Amino acid sequence: MKHFYTLLLAFITSFSFAQLAPPTELESYYSTVDFTTTGVYLKNDLIDVTADKHVNYLSYGDVWDASRITDLDPNNSNNVLLLYGYNDTDGSITTDRTRGKYDNGGGVGDWNREHVYPKSLGNPNLGTSGPGSDAQMLRPSDVQRNGQRGSLKFANKNSGEFPNGESGTTNSGWYPGDEWKGDCARIIMYMYLRYGERCLPTNVGFGSSASTPDDMIDLFLQWNAEDPVVDGGLEDVRNAYHGNASNEFAQGNRNPFIDNPYLATVIWGGPDAQNRWEDLSINDEQQNRIKMFPNPVNGNEVSIISNQDIIAEVYDILGKKVTVQNMTSNQTKLNISELTKGVYIVKLSSENGTQTKRLIKQ
């Protein structure tokens, strides 16, 4: 039945998906991938390029050094960002979002390079070499917070639960937090490409694979769509570093679902994820003229710099539009005073196209 579904999916969706072509700077990396295909055919091409470009194999110890380069806090280069963390000011160490980059180890108040999903959920156990030392999968996390997560599978939160985007236990599983759920989904997708049946999504999260041509589950497709990649954010920084094999602690391969989350939609279906390769008629210079800062933000305004008039639409993490503001060219302030703390999606539209950015209000 899965094989039949794959053929049907490839036939039907080839007419409905957006045309894909990587930007100029990624054309060489993806030169062997046929982006006119869909379903498992596209997946197989991405499997090949992801494995072929993985030319440097890091030890578990090397990941300490890699993390101090790839996971820096953009607001303070002395710190790393902590997966599952969400608050640096509530008096609890375990909820910290940032930590000194040399405060690593295995004790209270330390950060460790943690497997995004427990290595025990691999089949067999991922260990601390090979897939267990893949730096695309290992992220800094507070030792105690990750201990609270334990060996739980990923799960969705209930309606109204964790209103400020917190991580925590829910539904017999672990919710990674609004800021991190997309990161986690895209890492799981990468691990599935790179290591196949050893890293099945059905083994690491609660969800159904009935609508996909293989073992991807709807939970991760949902998270990938709801929590897009931030332009130039942490995921991009990590991906760019590891995609350059000449960097000292780089693997040489990229996570294609960070480069374009929409690839997951083309392969597995589900809700339309962010397409970072659309609007190909807009040159990079024009695209890059739309800037939004600071992000994360502690106040009630965000600066938008653009050479065009734009419409800024802000959506909450469930996809509900919470505010709309028309903005003229040059620097303008987006008023977010009515937004509570949490993660939002900002859609910036102009006559030349649309950009989607993630906004974190602390």
User: What does the pLDDT average to over 207-216?
Assistant: 96
User: What does the mean pLDDT of the chain come to?
Assistant: 89
Residues 330-345 as b or e (16 or more Cβ within 10 Å = b)? eebebebeebeebbbb
pTM: 0.80
pLDDT digits (tens, 9 = 90+) for 295-320: 788 889 888 878 888 889 998 866 67
| Same domain flag for 323 and 223 | no
For Cα atoms 98, 255, 106, give the angle at the middle one, nearest 5 degrees. Answer: 35
pLDDT digits (tens, 9 = 90+) for 33-92: 999 999 999 999 999 999 999 999 999 999 999 999 999 999 999 999 999 999 999 999
Q: How many domains does the chain have?
A: 2
Q: Does 132 fall in a domain?
A: yes
* Residue 257 pLDDT greater than 50, yes or no: yes
pLDDT > 70: percent of the chain = 91
pLDDT band at 327 (very low <50, low <70, confident <90, very high): confident
What is the pLDDT, as a whole number, of residue 38? 92
User: What does the pLDDT average to over 254-283?
Assistant: 86
* Residue 303 belongs to domain spanning: 284-361
What is the pLDDT, as a whole number, of residue 24? 94
| Same domain flag for 254 and 310 | no
DSSP E strands in the chain: the ranges are 72-73, 76-81, 98-100, 111-115, 138-142, 168-170, 173-175, 291-293, 301-305, 310-316, 321-327, 332-335, 342-350, 353-361
Q: Does 273 fall in a domain?
A: no
72 DSSP β-pair partners: 80
DSSP helix/strand/coil, 175: strand
Q: 242, 268, 294 — which closes off a domain?
A: 268
Q: Does 276 fall in a domain?
A: no
| Same domain flag for 248 and 140 | yes
CA dist 42 → 3, 126, 340 (Å): 15, 26, 40
CA dist 231 → 242, 260, 292 (Å): 17, 11, 10
* Residue 6 pLDDT greater than 60, yes or no: no
| Same domain flag for 290 and 174 | no
Q: 268, 297, 315 — which closes off a domain?
A: 268
Q: Report the relative pairing of strands 321-327 and 76-81 from DSSP bridges.
A: unpaired
The CATH number that applies at residue 335 is: 2.60.40.3080
Q: Which residue has the higher pLDDT, 284 or 183?
A: 183
Residues 224 and 273 sit within 8 Å (Cβ to Cβ): yes
pLDDT digits (tens, 9 = 90+) for 142-195: 999 999 999 999 999 999 999 999 999 999 999 999 999 999 999 999 999 999
What is the pLDDT, as a whole number, of residue 233? 93
Residues 154 and 176 sit within 8 Å (Cβ to Cβ): yes
| Same domain flag for 288 and 179 | no
User: What does the pLDDT average to over 215-235?
Assistant: 96
User: What does the pLDDT average to over 213-235?
Assistant: 96
Neighbours of 264 (CB within 10 A): 25
Residues 152-171 as b or e (16 or more Cβ within 10 Å = b)? bbbbbbeeeebeebbbbeee
* Residue 8 pLDDT greater than 80, yes or no: no
Q: What is the C-alpha to C-alpha distance for residues 79 and 97, in angstroms, rounded to an integer?
A: 10
What is the pLDDT, as a whole number, of residue 331? 62
pLDDT band at 13 (very low <50, low <70, confident <90, very high): very low
Q: Which residue has the higher pLDDT, 231 or 10?
A: 231
* Residue 284 pLDDT greater than 50, yes or no: no
Q: Does 55 fall in a domain?
A: yes
| Same domain flag for 198 and 312 | no
Q: Does 330 fall in a domain?
A: yes
| Same domain flag for 216 and 344 | no
DSSP helix/strand/coil, 16: coil
Q: Does 275 fall in a domain?
A: no
Residues 221 and 174 sit within 8 Å (Cβ to Cβ): no
| Same domain flag for 137 and 95 | yes
Q: Does 72 fall in a domain?
A: yes
CA dist 108 → 72, 86, 118, 147, 360 (Å): 21, 18, 20, 11, 27
Q: Does 314 fall in a domain?
A: yes
| Same domain flag for 288 and 260 | no
| Same domain flag for 129 and 39 | yes
Q: 215, 233, 268 — which closes off a domain?
A: 268
| Same domain flag for 48 and 166 | yes
User: What does the pLDDT average to over 136-141?
Assistant: 98
115 DSSP β-pair partners: 138
Q: What is the C-alpha to C-alpha distance for residues 90 and 33, in angstroms, rounded to an integer?
A: 47
| Same domain flag for 70 and 105 | yes
pLDDT band at 9 (very low <50, low <70, confident <90, very high): very low
What residue type is assigned to position 182 of the chain?
A: G
* Residue 285 pLDDT greater than 70, yes or no: no
